[in-house]
């Protein structure tokens, strides 16, 4: 520390002497020049420079000594090697050869420290970008959770049938002249979200964990839109939020895009972050520069659940997706990136007049074998019809063969049919009744729900029906989603502890939130 102090003083002295020589009056300048030329006298500048160089050399020596001391304190094996070299008086060359592996380890330590600093800088940059674009990470985190939960809950080998679909193969393999957009369609409960999560993980694993971004490794970003039925805080601009989430993900994986996006966020026009809140979906798409984020790099983007978006928000995003191919082709080939987008929704979500040339995969036409595996899985989970006698085997095979072809790829219908069969077997029902259940499995979702309501009306008492209606009020008008045990607790604690005629317009507090009963 004292040496650094002397170095600083010496540097200031040199600066002061130089300023004195350069900015003095005419007479002093003449005297200074005369002394320099005739008498070879620079008023101490040269001497101070020599002193400054000596201080620098000393500082380097001390720095090396401190580094050696730190190594000796932290590495006992190095201390032992150096002591042996000192005692045996080996030459520097021999010691260097013996310590080659030590130098390699020190290089590794230096590299690790550099990586740590780089990661810290990246972390800070990502936080700046996230704060400017999203503010809160709740929606992005929920999308990630949905993707991971669907991946974990999926059956073994689920979604492998997708790899045999030519449209998907061409899209995933980035073949030339392939449309950059691929549509995956199907009714609710056909497993589109599970399939999306599987595709995301397959694409991510294809580039390997920890792989550096290069011209050959694809980059994957995704967003899972929440279902309309979820009682979470409604996002007024879900499409715009999805684009911001995608930008944050891409920036976290691509340093070049991170640099561009950070410069945009820190520019005077965008610094306060308010402009990001006001931009439309199309303006955000252009400002965030998705089409040309980087040359020679493939971006895979997965958007799941576009059928869950409200009309206006959905229209803007669909307009962007339908014009994706034109947007890419309008760019010079040297600036064109390999962008691939996969979007899921019902068939009606993507009108043919707007997406006529876009390849699509209709899930119910392709997942019959997967439905069959799901039937086996559900039967085993419930230990249903697992006997070895001929009649049981025949009935089990009948369910496995018929159910997948009747449910039109709908996992909800499979679960409903299995529950009915389980109840029937528990009550010693006949094989003929099982066949009736299998035929009913081809009903629409609305028809199934109506059958459930009719069965409940016949099986439940008036008091039980009243309790079910109360629970439905809480489920429909509640400000958040309730689990079954929470419903039961509310039913016992609140709902029937007040005389109905005394409280026609009741409010029940729960966790600081009030729920108002519908007048009907």
Shortest CA distance to 355 belongs to which of 397, 329, 323? 323
Is this model's pTM higher than 0.75 or not?
A: no
Q: Containing H/E element for 351? A: none
User: What are the pLDDT digits (tens) for 414-449?
Assistant: 998 999 899 988 888 888 888 888 888 888 778 878
Q: Please state which CATH number belongs to domain 134-364.
A: 3.40.50.300
Q: In a structure prediction context, what are the per-residue pLDDT tens digits for the chain, which is 520 residues long?
A: 888 888 888 888 888 877 776 665 555 555 555 555 444 556 677 788 888 888 888 888 887 777 777 766 766 656 666 666 666 666 545 655 655 665 566 666 667 666 777 778 878 888 888 888 888 888 899 999 999 999 999 988 899 999 999 999 999 988 888 899 999 999 999 999 999 999 999 998 874 333 344 445 678 999 999 887 655 556 778 999 999 999 999 988 888 888 888 888 888 777 666 667 778 888 888 888 877 655 567 889 999 999 998 877 788 899 999 999 888 887 776 666 678 999 999 999 999 999 999 999 999 999 999 999 999 999 999 999 898 889 889 999 999 999 999 998 999 889 989 998 999 888 888 888 888 888 888 887 788 788 888 888 888 888 888 888 888 887 777 777 777 777 777 777 665 554 444 434 444 444 333 333 444 3
Q: Is the separation of the CB atoms in 377 and 154 below 8 Å?
A: no
Q: Containing H/E element for 515? A: strand 513-516
Residue 68 φ then ψ, to 5°:
-60, -45
* Sequence spans of domains, the chain: 2-74, 134-364, 367-459, 460-520
CA angle 257, 263, 269 (to 5 degrees): 130
User: What are the pLDDT digits (tens) for 298-334?
Assistant: 889 999 999 998 877 788 899 999 999 888 887 776 6
Cβ neighbours of residue 505 under 8 Å, at least 6 residues apart? 516, 517, 519
Sheet of strand 338-345: strand arrangement: 219-224, 298-304, 338-345, 181-185, 360-362
Residue 381 φ then ψ, to 5°:
-60, -40
């Amino acid at each position: 520390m004292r040496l650094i102090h002397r170095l600083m003083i010496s540097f200031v002295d040199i600066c002061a002497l130089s300023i004195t020589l350069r900015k003095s009056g005419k007479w002093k300048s003449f005297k200074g020049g005369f002394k320099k030329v005739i008498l070879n006298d620079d008023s101490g500048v040269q001497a101070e420079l020599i002193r400054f160089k000596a201080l620098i050399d000393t500082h380097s020596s001390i720095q090396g000594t401190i580094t050696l001391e730190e190594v000796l304190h932290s590495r006992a094996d190095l201390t032992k090697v150096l002591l042996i070299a000192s005692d045996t008086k080996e030459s520097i060359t021999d010691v260097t050869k013996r310590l080659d592996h030590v130098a390699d380890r020190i290089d590794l330590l230096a590299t690790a420290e550099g990586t740590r600093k780089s990661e810290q800088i990246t972390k800070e940059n990502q936080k700046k970008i996230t704060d400017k674009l999203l503010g809160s990470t709740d929606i992005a985190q929920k999308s990630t959770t949905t993707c991971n939960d669907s991946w974990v809950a999926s059956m073994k080998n689920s979604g492998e049938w997708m790899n045999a679909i030519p449209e998907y193969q061409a899209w995933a393999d980035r073949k030339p002249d392939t449309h950059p957009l691929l549509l995956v369609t199907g009714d609710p409960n056909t497993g589109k979200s599970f399939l999306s999560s599987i595709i995301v993980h397959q694409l991510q694993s294809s580039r390997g964990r920890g792989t550096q971004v290069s011209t050959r490794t694809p980059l994957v970003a995704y967003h899972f839109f929440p279902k309309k039925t979820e009682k979470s805080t409604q996002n007024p601009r879900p499409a715009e939020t999805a684009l911001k989430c995608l930008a944050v993900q891409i920036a976290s994986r691509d340093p070049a895009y991170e640099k561009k996006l950070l410069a945009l966020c820190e520019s005077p026009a965008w610094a306060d972050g308010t402009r990001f809140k006001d931009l439309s979906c199309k303006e955000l798409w252009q400002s965030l520069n998705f089409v040309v984020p980087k040359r020679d790099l493939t971006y895979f983007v997965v958007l799941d659940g576009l059928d869950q978006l409200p009309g206006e928000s959905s229209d803007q995003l669909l307009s962007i997706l339908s014009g994706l191919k034109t947007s890419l082709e309008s760019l010079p080939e040297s600036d064109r990136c390999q962008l691939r987008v996969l979007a899921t929704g019902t068939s009606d979500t993507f009108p043919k007049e707007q997406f006529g040339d876009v390849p699509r995969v209709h899930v119910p036409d392709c997942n019959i074998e997967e439905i069959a595996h799901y039937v086996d899985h559900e039967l085993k989970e419930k230990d249903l019809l697992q006997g070895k006698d001929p009649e049981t085997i025949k009935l089990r095979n009948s369910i496995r063969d018929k159910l997948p072809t009747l449910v039109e790829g709908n996992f909800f219908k499979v679960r409903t049919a299995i529950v009915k069969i389980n109840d029937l077997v528990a009550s010693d029902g006949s094989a003929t009744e099982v066949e009736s259940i299998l035929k009913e499995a081809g009903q629409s979702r609305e028809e199934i729900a109506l059958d459930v309501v009719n069965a409940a009306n016949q099986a439940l008492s008036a008091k039980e029906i009243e309790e079910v209606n109360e629970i439905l009020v809480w489920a429909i008008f509640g400000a958040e989603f309730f689990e079954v045990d929470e419903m039961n607790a509310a039913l016992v604690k609140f709902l029937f502890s007040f005389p109905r005629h005394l409280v026609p317009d009741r409010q029940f507090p729960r966790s600081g939130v009030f729920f108002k009963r519908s007048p009907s």
